[in-house]
């Protein structure tokens, strides 16, 4: 059983025709284990990595921010530090256990809702910025365009989008090792396709960068 399957309580994910199980569609249900693993995997760089996502989304005091697939709320809390208490930071995730954890750990101006990224109960243009980290590869491929269009609806004109996801190792052997630990979807993460999908949703892509040790992000503006 891969680490990804353990984080999802030994279920979740899809089985493709080859019999390989991936974690697309899987929900994280073990928040403490997830936090412990994330701390180790980022090699001491988790805070600085997530703060770069917050900076790329140009999040500042008073901003209204949406975090899709927020999990335990780590990025939500980094964003909330940047908005301060005059801001509003909303995290959504379909997994009840991670949302319960995020609610316990986060400041008052963070709100959390148990829902998928395809249907967020907020009005059009409700947010200055939308962010997402390590979540897109969990969303089944057929739903990714729907989630990106929902983010487009929710960000105000002139607002920002930053999506960060896992960057599989370029070295083939390292890729197989990481895939064995984490699961099929992370081994085959289509990060290269992300700028095209974001543009198709209506955003203007403004930049992309690697976040060491193992993520990339794409930044965009809503025209």
Binding site for ligand SAM (CB under 6 A): 27-28, 38, 68-71, 74-75, 93-95, 98, 116-117, 133-135, 138-139, 143
Provide the minimum distance between the beta carbon of 53 and ligand SAM in the complex, in angstroms, as a whole number: 9
Strand order in the sheet with 64-68: 110-114, 88-93, 64-68, 127-133, 155-166, 215-221, 204-211
Nearer to ligand SAM, 111 or 143 (CB): 143
Provide the minimum distance between the beta carbon of 6 and ligand SAM in the complex, in angstroms, as a whole number: 13
Provide the minimum distance between the beta carbon of 25 and ligand SAM in the complex, in angstroms, as a whole number: 6
Which among 132, 160, 198 is positioned nearest to 63, based on CA atoms? 160
Name the H helices within 31-95: 31-41, 46-56, 74-83
State the residue number with the nearest CB to ligand SAM: 71
> CA dist 111 to 31, 93, 139, Å?
17, 11, 22
Calpha distance 6→109 (Å, rounded)? 32
Provide the minimum distance between the beta carbon of 91 and ligand SAM in the complex, in angstroms, as a whole number: 8
Nearer to ligand SAM, 203 or 217 (CB): 217
Nearer to ligand SAM, 70 or 110 (CB): 70
Provide the minimum distance between the beta carbon of 73 and ligand SAM in the complex, in angstroms, as a whole number: 8
For 117, the enclosing helix (H) or strand (E) is none
Tally of residues, the chain: 223
Nearer to ligand SAM, 27 or 65 (CB): 27
């Amino acid at each position: 059983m891969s680490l990804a399957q353990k984080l999802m309580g030994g279920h979740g994910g899809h089985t493709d025709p080859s019999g390989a199980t991936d974690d697309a569609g899987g929900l994280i249900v073990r928040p403490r284990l997830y936090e412990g693993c994330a701390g180790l995997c980022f090699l001491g760089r988790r805070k600085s990595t997530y703060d770069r996502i917050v900076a790329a989304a140009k999040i500042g005091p008073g901003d209204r921010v949406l975090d899709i697939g927020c999990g335990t709320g780590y990025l939500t809390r980094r964003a909330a530090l940047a908005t301060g208490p005059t801001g509003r930071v909303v995290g959504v995730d379909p997994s009840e256990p991670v949302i319960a954890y995020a609610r316990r750990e986060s400041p008052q101006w963070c709100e959390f809702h148990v829902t998928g990224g395809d249907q967020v109960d907020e009005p059009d243009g409700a947010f200055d910025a939308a962010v997402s980290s390590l979540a897109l590869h969990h969303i089944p491929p057929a739903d990714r365009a729907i989630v990106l269009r929902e983010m487009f609806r929710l960000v105000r004109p002139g607002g920002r989008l930053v999506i960060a996801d896992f960057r599989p190792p370029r070295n083939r052997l390292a890729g197989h090792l990481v895939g064995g630990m984490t699961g099929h979807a992370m081994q085959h993460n289509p990060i290269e396709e992300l700028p095209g999908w974001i543009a198709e949703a209506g955003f203007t892509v403004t930049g992309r960068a690697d976040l060491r040790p193992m993520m990339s992000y794409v930044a965009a503006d809503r025209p």
